[in-house]
Amino acid sequence: MKKIFLLLFGIAILGACKSKPSTPKMAKLELSQVSPSQKNKAYELGKRVLNACNTSKFKPFTKEEATDKVIQNTTIERLSSTCRKFSIKYGKFEDLRLVEVIRNNTDESLIFRYKADYQRKFAQKELQVTLDKDNKVAAIRSTDWTDIYTP
């Protein structure tokens, strides 16, 4: 009888300790769920950065387009350095293809994942453009393409 009581007591405690289901931090959105203006803005701003490698000219972001942090970090010097590496390794930048959009439920930002097409096709690059809840670019990141998003 004592063992049965302890077993039931243990089960009751485990049941009481279960956590409530939480909202996932990240959620993949259907492309149709994202407004065309947001898709266009992310595409145009991302393309502007990568096109700078082809033209050697970059129109700096404005306060209406990007956060202060992005404006400070997107300097001509940093962009030129990255462009030199990319041009040597991948050739001329051609275009971006939107693959998926991920919503960060923590800060309500949208992460646009693009495959970046370059002249040399041996490696697939990714460009991530993050728009914050105010539709400003909060981050731009380039990495090697992986099918599964990793923050």
Residues 32-68 have pLDDT tens digits of 999 999 999 999 999 999 999 999 889 999 999 999 9
pLDDT (0 to 100) of residue 52: 92
Q: Is residue 77 part of a domain?
A: yes
- Confirm whether 15 is domain-assigned: no
Distance CA 19, CA 22 (A): 8
Segment 20-29 mean pLDDT: 78
DSSP code at position 5: H
Q: Which amino acid is at 55?
A: T
Q: Calculate mean pLDDT across residues 140-144.
A: 94
Helix (H, G, I), strand (E, B) or coil at 8: helix
Residue 92 domain flag? yes
Predicted local confidence at residue 18, as pLDDT: 54
Tokens of 115: 């495959």
Average pLDDT over residues 12-31: 70
| pLDDT reported for residue 6 | 41
* 98-129 pLDDT per residue, tens: 999 999 999 999 999 999 999 998 889 999 99
Q: How far apart are CA 134 and CA 93, in angstroms?
A: 29
Long-range pairs for 40-44: beta carbons < 8 A, 24 or more residues apart: 41/65, 41/131, 41/135, 42/98, 42/110, 42/112, 42/129, 42/131, 42/137, 43/96, 43/98, 43/112, 43/114, 43/129
pLDDT at residue 26 is higher than 50: yes
pTM: 0.83
Q: What stretch of H or E contains 12? A: helix 2-17
Overall domain count for the chain: 1
Domain holding 79, by residue range, is: 22-144
99 domain residue, yes or no: yes
- Say if 78 falls within a structural domain: yes
Any domain includes 101: yes
Mean pLDDT for the stretch of residues 90-98: 95
- When mean pLDDT is compared across 10-14, 26-30, 57-61, 118-122, the lowest value belongs to 10-14
CATH of the domain at 72: 3.10.450.590
Six token digits for residue 141: 């990141």
| DSSP state string for 30-98 | -GGGS-HHHHHHHHHHHHHHHHHHHHS---PPPTTTB-HHHHHH--HHHHHHHHHHHHHHH-SEEEEEE
- Residue at 139 is within a domain: yes
Q: What is the pLDDT of residue 121?
A: 85
Please tell me the predicted confidence (pLDDT) of residue 15: 53
Does 33 map to a domain? yes
pLDDT of the residue at 20: 53
pLDDT of residue 123: 82
